[in-house]
Amino acid sequence: MPLDDLTIRIGGEAGMGLESSGAGFARALVRGGLHVFALPDYHSRIRGGHNFFSIRIARQPLYSHLETVHLLLALDAETVRRHVDALVAGGAVVYDEQEPLPDDLRRPDVSFFPIPLSALAAEHGGAEITRNTLIFGIAAGLIGFDPAWLEEIVRDNFARKGPEVVDANLRVVAAGVAAARPFQADFPFRMPAQPGAPPRLLLNGNQAFAMGALAGGCRFVSGYPMTPGSPVLEWMAAHAAEYGVVTAQVEDEIAALCAAIGAAQAGARAMAPTSGGGFSLMVEALGLAGMTETPVVIYEAQRPGPSTGLATRTEQGDLLFVLHASQGEFPRLILAPGTIEQSFAAGWRAFNLAERYQTPVIVLSDHFLANSLRDVEPAALDFAAVTIDRGKLLSEAELDSLEGGYLRHVFTDDGISPRAIPGHPKAVFAVTSDEHDEAGHITEDAQMRRRMVEKRAHKLQTALADMHPPSRYGDPQAPLTFIGWGSTYGPLRQAVDLLNARGTQAQMLHFSDLWPIPAAEVAEMLEGAGRTVAVENNPSGQFADLLRQVTGHRVAGRILKYDGRPLSPEFILDNLKPETVSGQWRRI
In the complex with another protein, which residue's Cβ is closer, 95 or 224?
224
* 10-18, 140-148, 258-266, 578-586 -> range binding another protein (CB under 8 A): 258-266
* 107-115, 166-174, 440-448, 486-494 -> range binding another protein (CB under 8 A): 440-448
Task: Determine which residue in the list 174, 248, 281, 323 makes contact with another protein, applying CB under 8 A.
Answer: 248
Q: Which of residues 289-328 bind another protein (CB under 8 A)?
A: 292
- Cis check for the bond before 163: say yes or no (omega within 30 of 0): no
Side chain identity, residue 521: E
* Interface with another protein, residue 395, by CB under 8 A: no
Distances (CA, A) of 448 to 362, 407, 440: 28, 14, 12
> Min. distance of Cβ 222 from another protein in angstroms?
7
Instruction: Determine the size of the site formed for another protein (CB under 8 A).
Output: 68
Task: Determine which residue in the list 9, 31, 124, 349 makes contact with another protein, applying CB under 8 A.
Answer: 31
DSSP reduced 3-state for 83: helix
What is d(CA 53, CA 62) in angstroms, rounded to the nearest whole number?
17
* Interface with another protein, residue 354, by CB under 8 A: no
280 in Cβ contact with 226 (< 8 Å) = no
* 4-12, 282-290, 495-503, 538-546 -> range binding another protein (CB under 8 A): 282-290
Task: Determine which residue in the list 100, 182, 423, 552 makes contact with another protein, applying CB under 8 A.
Answer: 423
> Min. distance of Cβ 134 from another protein in angstroms?
25
In the complex with another protein, which residue's Cβ is closer, 4 or 252?
252
Residue environment code for 411-422, b if the CB has 16+ CB neighbours within 10 A, otherwise e: eeeebbbbbbbe
DSSP state of 61: -
* Interface with another protein, residue 378, by CB under 8 A: yes
DSSP state of 328: S
Neighbours of 402 (CB within 10 A): 16
What is d(CA 21, CA 505) in angstroms, rounded to the nearest whole number?
40
How many CA atoms, within 13 angstroms, populate the side-chain half-sphere of residue 326?
A: 19
* Interface with another protein, residue 226, by CB under 8 A: no
> Min. distance of Cβ 305 from another protein in angstroms?
24
Angle between the N-to-C axes of helices 542-551 and 519-527, in degrees from 0 to 180, rounded to the nearest 10: 110
Nearest to 550 by CA among 529, 569, 522, 578: 522
Task: Determine which residue in the list 150, 168, 180, 261 makes contact with another protein, applying CB under 8 A.
Answer: 261
* 61-69, 439-447, 454-462, 580-588 -> range binding another protein (CB under 8 A): 439-447
Range list of H helices, 8-146: 18-31, 77-83, 117-120, 131-143
Which spans of this chain sit near another protein (rule: CB under 8 A)?
31, 199-203, 207, 211, 214-215, 217, 219-220, 222, 240-241, 243-246, 248, 250-252, 254-256, 258-270, 284-285, 288, 292, 378, 381, 383, 386-388, 390, 421-434, 440-442
